[in-house]
Structure 1
Amino acid sequence: MELVWPSIEYLPGYVDALERGWSPDTVRGEAAAREIQARISADAAGYVASLVDREAKGDPVKLPDGNIVSRLPGFYQWMWDGEFCGSINFRWQRGTPALPPTCLGHIGYSVVPWKQQRGYATEALRQLLPEAKAEGLPYVEITANTDNLPSQKVILANGGELVERVPKPPGYPPGEMVRFRITLR
């Protein structure tokens, strides 16, 4: 499995995954997938280009409760093993490792169900960490739901250390999450 930059070349596999019920948004799920499909239908090239936004020039971000917040600099990469496997994204604030309270972490990932339990999320995170270091961050923080043991295993396999157990921030469905920190070397 390798990470590839989103491109029209890989878009059919991405669309197929959306149509099969997968979503890169693990919080908003199906609603986010429908919105993405509509954006792709309206302007496929524009959608693909929007996935790499290091200057945060894109539209604001809609939280699960419908509130709108400013976009952070960031980008997506797609997992590829000859076909689409999932996505991983990275976001940050310039000049600080801190994130706004509405952001769950620096990195999020989602593997399509039919490719899970192959180590792809673990490998994707490993491949992404040098990109985070290149942005000057001393560490990244990643959160997972308290009951999402597979995601916690991915983070731990990449050097994550448990920082705290906290309630989800306002704007997200109620519940607790665990926050991990990975020191970038």
Structure 2
Amino acid sequence: MRLVTPSLEYLDAYRAALETGWSPRTTRPEAATEELHAISLDPEGFIASLDDPDARGGDIQLQDGNFVKRLPSFRRWIWHAGFCGSIELRWQHGTNALPPTCLGHIGYAVVPWRRREGLATAALGALLPETRRTGLTFVDLTTDPGNTASIRVIEKNGGQLVERRDKALTHGGGEELLFRIHLPLL
């Protein structure tokens, strides 16, 4: 497994995954259609938008339809004998804090036909060293209490449960688990 920086070289495989209905945003399935539209309008611009450490892109639409200011972020594609999924890091410069509208520093999604292969675990582990270079000393990740696969991915990468809490209504409400992974020094 390797993480690849999105590029035109890998775009056809990514597009094919989106066309199946898979979404890189587990809380927003409609993101698949939105990204397919963006790719059709400007493939190069779409690729460039996935690596935005200065938060120059447009606002982000939340699950409830509201828009919030984009955070610095970058996305990597999970690759192992083809496209397997996506993992993304979001942060604010100079702080570990995130705005309340952000579920966590890292989000990931593996395509259904490649699940249960340990790819999400490997991808998260591969992303953590790169994460430290942003200045973060830890990352927070959230998941639903019933998502045992995601809980295992986080725990296998050193995640510790911080709290059970109510998920923001902007993200659909309900209960969520907050995990934290402390990052090693560079």
The runs of at least 4 consecutive aligned structure 1 residues that moved more than 6 Å come to none
Task: Name the CA distance, whole Å, in 1 between partners of 2:169 and 2:162.
Answer: 20
Task: Name the CA distance, whole Å, in 1 between partners of 2:142 and 2:183.
Answer: 16
- The one-letter amino acid of 1:168's match is K
Other-structure match for 1:128? 127
Other-structure match for 1:87? 86
Other-structure match for 1:179? 178
Q: How does 1:24-173 map to 2 (within 5 A)?
A: 24-29=24-29, 31-173=30-172
Q: Which runs of 5+ in 1 are unaligned?
A: none
1:38-63 C-alpha deviation (Å, 9 max, x unpaired): 10000011001100000000000000
Q: How many residues align?
A: 184
RMSD over equivalenced CA pairs, Å: 0.6
- The one-letter amino acid of 1:98's match is A
- The one-letter amino acid of 1:12's match is D
TM-score (norm 1): 0.98
Q: Which runs of 5+ in 2 are unaligned?
A: none
Other-structure match for 1:14? 14
Cα distance, 1:172 vs structure 2: 1.2
Cα distance, 1:174 vs structure 2: 1.9
TM-score (norm 2): 0.98
- The one-letter amino acid of 2:155's match is L
- The one-letter amino acid of 1:126's match is G
Cα distance, 1:179 vs structure 2: 0.3
Cα distance, 1:82 vs structure 2: 2.5
Cα distance, 1:32 vs structure 2: 1.1
Task: Name the CA distance, whole Å, in 2 between partners of 1:156 and 1:15.
Answer: 31
Contact 1:162 / 1:181 at 8 angstroms: preserved in 2? yes
Contact 1:102 / 1:170 at 8 angstroms: preserved in 2? no
SS of equivalent residue, structure 1 residue 171: helix
Task: Name the CA distance, whole Å, in 2 between partners of 1:135 and 1:81.
Answer: 26
Contact 1:161 / 1:180 at 8 angstroms: preserved in 2? yes
1:121-164 C-alpha deviation (Å, 9 max, x unpaired): 00000000011111111100000011111001000000000000
